[in-house]
Amino acid sequence: MRRARQWAGTADLKIAVFAADEAPAAGVELVGPDTLVVVNKVDLGDPGWQRDFGGIGVFKMSLKTGKGVEAFIAALTAVARERLGAGDGAAALLTRTRHREAVTFCREALDRALEARLPELAAEDLRLAVRALGRITGAVDVEELLDVIFRDFCIGK
């Protein structure tokens, strides 16, 4: 519980779920501006408790009957799009450190390849760039890369 509360305290977005049939005993302290509050089990009747969450909207739903689920998913989708900048033409976010490092390394290698004075150095930097991308997407065959280089560029034929 302690670790879960620590992670929740640093989360960009929290979803606090409370049952309609019982007043919340814990977790209310984690509700803040970056929280979507869900009151589940409304199929059991209107909650006997009312809580003010500081102007934060409360999504009343029943997972059993599906009531209110679509509205919550729409709101969650809207928040995600707003925060992630997802929209028409938006670039994909790299959420894993390993992926960000690989793309950064790839870009640096490509920059070096463009500035290389010798074709051998450019080819080596291209190989390093492809290898970095391969760490994300899967391995790239070196022979395939060499075929493209020798087919499209005049390097020591």
pLDDT in tens, 86-142: 555 555 666 778 888 888 999 999 999 989 888 888 889 888 888 888 877 776 566
Instruction: Return the amino acid letter for 117.
Output: R
pLDDT in tens, 34-79: 778 888 888 877 666 566 666 677 888 888 888 888 888 888 888 8
Most confident of 51-60, 77-86, 145-154: 77-86
| Closest by CA position to 14, among listed 68, 53, 41 | 53
Report the distance separating Cα 89 and Cα 73, nearest Å.
Answer: 23
Does residue 49 sit in helix, strand or coil? coil
pLDDT score of 23 more than 80: no
Q: List domains and CATH numbers for the chain.
A: 2-84 (3.40.50.300), 97-152 (no CATH)
pLDDT score of 13 more than 60: yes
Radius of gyration (C-alpha) of the chain in whole angstroms: 26
Contact status, residue 43 vs residue 62, Cβ threshold 8 Å:
yes
pLDDT at 14: 79
Task: Look at the pTM and tell me if it is higher than 0.95.
Answer: no
Report the distance separating Cα 109 and Cα 125, nearest Å.
Answer: 5
| Closest by CA position to 41, among listed 72, 65, 75 | 65
Which tokens sit at 76?
């969650």
Question: What's the distance, Cα to Cα, between the start and end of the chain in Å?
Answer: 65
DSSP annotation of 90 reads P
Comparing 41 with 148, which gets the higher pLDDT?
41
